[in-house]
Chains A and B, each alone.
Chain A
Amino acid sequence: MTTLPRFPIFLRWTAGIAAGLCAAPLLAQSLAAAPASASAPSPAPSAPMTAGPADAGKMSIEVQRSRTEQARNQAASCAVCHGPDGRPPADSPVPRLAGRQQAELVELMLNFKNGRLPGTVMPQIAKGYSDTEIIAISAWFADQK
């Protein structure tokens, strides 16, 4: 019935942080390559997502839970096109998000956001999300095996 992994949420969040490390060079590269976009007013980052990996050990379980739930809630928005938990119905032309590498999803979203990847709705939608939100949402989808 439930599609959530069974191991405790704080482990999934820690895994997300670790995967976030892999995405960091991509993020830096993407911002460097698109100065116009980087200087454009970007949405306020969601405060709870800004803690670095060094803080992970100190974060209370409550804060970890809150951040994971926020990523889950924000990722749930994608389901209307990409299917529940990022699993589209069979034969859908819309790609699956569940279980894909976090770094791959982050790169796609940043490229949509920075205008380097064409599309129909995704370039318009990606511009509504901060980089930290993209990293967190991608981590959540990567965890949906």
Chain B
Amino acid sequence: MHRRSVLKAALAATALSGLTVRQARAAAPAKVVVIGGGYGGATAARYLRTWSRGVVDVTLVEPDAAFVSCPLSNLVVAGYRQMADITVPYDALVRRHGVKHVRDTATAIDLGRRTVRLAGGATLPYDRLVLSPGVEMQSGAIDGLSAPGGEQIVHAWKAGPQTDVLRRQLAAMPDGGTFAITIPLAPYRCPPGPYERACLVADYLKQHKPRSKVLVFDANPDITSKGALFRQVWQTRYAGMIEYRPQHETVGVDPATRTIRFDVQDDERADVLNLLPPQRAGAIAVAAGLATANGRWCEVDFVTMASRVAPDVHVLGDAVQIAPLMPKSGTMANQHGKVAAAAILQQLAGQAPDSMPLYTNTCYSFTSSTEAIHIATVHRYDAAERTMLTVPGSGGLSTAPSVLEGQYGFAWARSIWADMLA
């Protein structure tokens, strides 16, 4: 019997009864390689193992020993949480769920041969590839970032060492100084994130350096998420401290004088520069030819999360060309991971994938060290439109920031980290 037919039979049998797990294990297991251990990739890895009852062989390619969360990282920038609070090791994925963790960086995908090349020189074959590469910062779009001193200007939009650098820069800023954050045109990772960062930096400054200012230079025509709520907080809690300037597209920077250049308006100087460059799908996805939308984002079939150009490759998270009103968020990446895991197992078993993806996005933004606001949306697959659409009449926003929602925000983080990694 051909290996793949054995596998199909084994998985089909397993789906019907736990009694056949041992027989299925005797067959050659399907190999799934997962690139990237963020919200999408870690979730897919865990669910592929859980839902196949340990039958499918899952290898996670991720250079880091631990996951570091972007959500909640703005609290670290403001000094209200430590790096350790947003760091979760990959140990349980390996120990409890049997995921093979290869601590290496995937450098290339051979779609024809179905292999992944690693920086360390090894080549991994796959039956299915899950690609959760996150975003690549297009730093070249900001002239001067590569000039001497440019390395001191961080985005901190991938949680990790830069998060700590930005925290230290804020802590070192003198009272009366200016913290500037620049926002690229949407779509970018975490639509409300820059405005949350403005709130939390202002919360810190209000307590420790009350004569300071936060300048928000947004390339977009208006606040891209939770606009009315952020505006309300800025006008009340942080009155006179946060200044919001829409339609300011950052095109250059002079690291020596800490000056930002815009496409239209006059230059602005600040003491701490936090520049968020334009973004696109992680470099490996672009190099593999999967970023079919403007060369930036990966178009997928939302029933399976399979790439439109490579059906064996399932793309997740921020790298995906999003459906209408679908944010590039950690929760969405987690939901993508489960849709992909379910579809991969069904397809490997020779079954049609679940044709009704239905999931919720819940996104909390902290407006102070203890208070948060939310946006919630429910997304349902629309067969006619071949995309995910929000369900009419569902979803909504907070009425105002609250401590209760702050508690829910912290609870969300602990639950989703457990859902990915515990």
Contact = CB atoms under 8 A, between A and B. Distances in A.
A46 B356 contact: yes
Contacts of B50: 1-4
Interface in A70-85: 70, 72-74, 76-84
B402 to A, nearest CB: 8
A4 B345 CA distance: 16
Interface string B214-257: 00000000000000000000000000000000000000000000
Nearest to B97: A1
A39 interface: no
Interface string B95-111: 01110000000000000
Interface in B395-420: 395-396, 398, 402, 404-405, 407-408, 411-412, 414-416, 418-419
B54 A1 contact: yes
B98 A84 contact: no
Contacts of A82: 415
Given A4-B53, A73-B354, A121-B374, A41 B408 contact: no
Give the size category of A's interface with B. 35 or more
Contacts of B338: 73, 76-77
A120 B357 CA distance: 24
A26 interface: no
A115 to B, nearest CB: 11
Contact of B419 (A74, A84, A124): A84
A6 B18 contact: yes
A2, A65, A133, most chain B CB atoms within 10 A: A2
Contact of A69 (B331, B342, B404): B342
Contacts of A79: 334, 415-416, 419
Given A2-B54, A76-B338, A84 B418 contact: yes
B339 to A, nearest CB: 7
Contacts of B96: 1
A94 B392 contact: no
Nearest to A8: B17
Contact of A120 (B15, B17, B358, B404): B404
Given A40-B393, A121-B374, A128 B360 contact: yes
A93 B410 CA distance: 10
Nearest to A74: B358
Interface string B354-398: 101111101000000000001011101000000000111111101
A43 B380 contact: yes
A95 to B, nearest CB: 10
Contacts of B334: 79-80
Query: Would you list the 5 A-B pairs with minimal beta carbon distance, nearest first?
Result: A128-B378, A128-B394, A124-B396, A128-B391, A127-B394
17 contacts: A2-B54, A43-B380, A66-B351, A74-B358, A76-B47, A77-B359, A77-B360, A80-B362, A80-B412, A81-B362, A81-B408, A81-B415, A82-B415, A93-B407, A93-B411, A94-B408, A127-B391
